[in-house]
Amino acid sequence: MRSAAHPKRTILVATDFSKPGKLVVPYAFKLALALNLRLTILHVVKAPPEFEQWSPAAHRSLHSLKTKALLELGRLIRLANENGLMADQKLLVGIPGDSILKVAHRSHIAFIVMGTHGKTGWDRLRLGSVAESTLRQAPCPVLTVRASVPPYPRQSAPVERSSLSGSNGLFCLFDGSASDRR
Amino acid sequence: MAALRTAVELAKRLNARMLLVHADEPSGSLRSDPLRIDELSQKRYAHQFQKIISASRGDEVITEKIVITGNPVKVILDQAKHQKSDLIVIGTQGRRGMKRLMLGSVAEAVVRRASCPVFTVRTQVRDPFNLTNGTRRSPPGSSTG
C-alpha cells in the first residue's frame, strides 16, 4: 500500500499491540473515514539505540521481535483496507517516545492517535508514559484513548457516521489561558 | 483557541454536537460567595464566548456553553461523564522543565483520568486545524482502499 504518489495528510497511529494500544484502532479508523485521511500505523520495538549492531545475538533477538510486530501490523493494515482506508505500516527500533516524535515531525502527519494505560499515583512514577512524553512534545495534536474507555463498535465504524451526533456530543473544552497567548 | 478551531473542524466532519466549557477557580474575595461568582462569570464570559465562537466559525455546531467555577479538572471530567461525551478536545500549553513541575497541567490530568478519548491540541502546534484532506471520502465499499 505504498502508493503515496502525492503526499496526503495522514493519521499516525502509534500502537504497542497491548490492550490500550489496540483500543485506539477503531477510533483512528472512524476519524480517518470522517476526515478523509490516510493512516500510518507505527510500532516501535523498544531497544537501546544502535542495539542491532551490538552483537549477532542481539540482532537475532530483535529479528524475532520484528517479525512478530510485522505480522501484527499486517493484520491492522488488512483491517484498515477492509474498511476502505489507505494505510501504511512503519516499524522502527528505538526508544518509543523519541521514534514517534521523529515520525510526527514529518509535515504530512495531521495528528497522532495513541492509547494510554492511564496510570496514576505510584504506577505513574514507576512506569512513566510514552503517551505523556509524546503529548508534551508533539508538533501536532494528539488523540489519546485510555484503557478503560469502552471500545468503539468496530463493525459500525463505516456505516453509522452519524452515531456521534446522536445523544452524545463532541465535547470541547476551552482553556481560557491558551487563547490569551495567541 | 487552536483547540477550539480544531474542535469545530472535527465536529463539522463528524456531524457532532459541541459543548463549550470554561472552568475557572474563583479568586480572592469571591471565594466565599458562590452565587455572586456564577453571576459575574456568566456575564463576563458571555461576551468572550461570543467573540471566540464567531472567530472559530463554529456557530452551527456549538450547542451549549457552560461556565463553571471550580477545579478545572474536576469540572471537565464531571461534565464529560454527565453529558456522555464521545470526545474531549482540550488545549494545552505544553510547558516543560521547571514550569511543568510547578504548574502541573489540566490537560494532563484530564488525559489520565477521562473516561473518553481526549484530543489534545498544543498552542504551538503547526497548523492544528488543517486536519483533513479536503473532500469527504466516498462511502466505503465504492472506494478501493
Structural domain includes residue A3: no
Q: Answer yes or no: do B19 and A172 touch at CB < 8 A.
A: yes
Question: Which chain B residue is nearest to residue A31, measuring alpha carbons?
Answer: B14
Structural domain includes residue B45: yes
Amino acid at B139: P
Considering its fold, how many domains does chain B have in total?
1
Structural domain includes residue A18: yes
Q: Which of B16, B120, B141 sits opposite A170 (nearest CB)?
A: B16
Chain-centroid distance, C-alpha B67: 12
- Report pLDDT digits (tens) over B70-105: 788 888 888 888 888 888 888 877 666 655 554 556
pLDDT of residue B84: 81
Q: Answer yes or no: do A139 and B112 touch at CB < 8 A.
A: no
Structural domain includes residue B140: no
Mean pLDDT of successive 10-residue segments in chain A (182 residues)?
56 84 84 86 85 80 90 91 89 87 86 77 61 80 78 40 37 44 33
pLDDT of residue A4: 42
- Give, rounded to a whole angstrom, the gap between the first and last alpha carbons of chain B: 35
pLDDT of residue B144: 38
Structural domain includes residue B50: yes
Q: Grid coordinates standing for B65? A: 456553553
Structural domain includes residue B105: yes
Interface probe for A, chosen from B8, B9, B17 (most Cβ of A below 10 Å), is: B17
What is the mean predicted confidence (pLDDT) over B97-114? 68
B12 at interface of A, judged by CB pairs closer than 8 A: no
Sheet order of strands, A142-146 included: A87-94, A38-46, A10-14, A109-116, A142-146, B118-122, B87-92, A170-173, B18-24, B62-69
Q: How far is A59 from chain B (nearest CA, A)?
A: 35
- Report pLDDT digits (tens) over B43-64: 777 777 777 777 777 777 777 7
What band does B2 get if pLDDT is binned at 50, 70 and 90?
A: confident
Structural domain range at position B64 = 2-122
pLDDT of residue A71: 92
Structural domain includes residue B35: yes
Q: How far is A105 from chain B (nearest CA, A)?
A: 10
pLDDT of residue A74: 92
pLDDT of residue A169: 43
Closest CA to B110 of A181, A174, A55, A86: A174
* Cα(B42)–Cα(A152) distance, integer angstroms: 36
* Cα(B72)–Cα(B105) distance, integer angstroms: 10
When computed from its CA atoms, the radius of gyration of chain A, rounded to whole angstroms, is 17
pLDDT of residue B1: 66
- The CATH code of the domain that includes B23 is 3.40.50.620
Opening angle at CA A151, ends A147 and A156, nearest 5? 160
Listed by number, the residues of chain A in 75-104 with a beta carbon closer than 8 Å to a beta carbon of chain B are 80-86
Q: Answer yes or no: do B7 and A170 touch at CB < 8 A.
A: yes
Opening angle at CA A9, ends A164 and A140, nearest 5? 80
Q: Which of A8, A35, A171 sits opposite B13 (nearest CB)?
A: A35
Q: Answer yes or no: do B145 and A110 touch at CB < 8 A.
A: no
Considering its fold, how many domains does chain A have in total?
1
* Residues of chain A positioned with their CB less than 8 A from the CB of B132: 9, 35-37, 110
The answer to whether B4 touches B56, Cβ cutoff 8 Å, is yes
Across the A/B interface, how many CB contacts are shorter than 8 Å?
221
Structural domain includes residue B61: yes
* Residues of chain B positioned with their CB less than 8 A from the CB of A144: 111, 117-118, 120
Opening angle at CA A166, ends A164 and A168, nearest 5? 70
**ipTM summary value:** 0.72
- Report pLDDT digits (tens) over B123-142: 765 554 555 555 444 444 43
Q: 3-state class of A144 per DSSP? A: strand
- The CATH code of the domain that includes A26 is 3.40.50.620
Structural domain range at position A150 = 10-181
- Report pLDDT digits (tens) over B8-36: 878 888 888 888 887 777 665 555 566 66
Structural domain includes residue B47: yes
* Residues of chain B positioned with their CB less than 8 A from the CB of A107: 126
Structural domain includes residue B82: yes
